[in-house]
Amino acid sequence: MRAAEKIIGPSVMNPLLRRYQETWGHRWPFDRRYLAELVIETKAGLGLKPNDKIRTQEVRDDALVLMRETHHFPDHTPPFGSKGLH
């Protein structure tokens, strides 16, 4: 297990993975390590430390958007926020 995955565990990642699939209709195409890194990045953007357990809903909401901004879907749909998608 990598450092990011030791800090961001399944109680954060599993709901994000479910919400991602429910929201975007696609499975998360990357590994959990990358997801953990995005959550840490999200927390930093909110002024939180990687292991902070506060503002969890805000962290999850912002991380969900960041997850979508990082890639194209297999059908070449552009990332969220690109070309007028909001």
pLDDT in tens, 58-69: 999 999 999 988
pLDDT, tens digit (0-9, with 9 covering 90-100), for 29-60: 899 999 999 999 999 999 999 999 999 999 99
For the entire predicted model, the pTM comes to 0.80
Query: What ranges do the domains of the chain cover?
Result: 3-69
Q: How many helices (H) and strands (E) does the chain have?
A: 4, 0
Q: How far is CA 40 from CA 5, 7, 19, 85, in A?
A: 10, 9, 18, 25
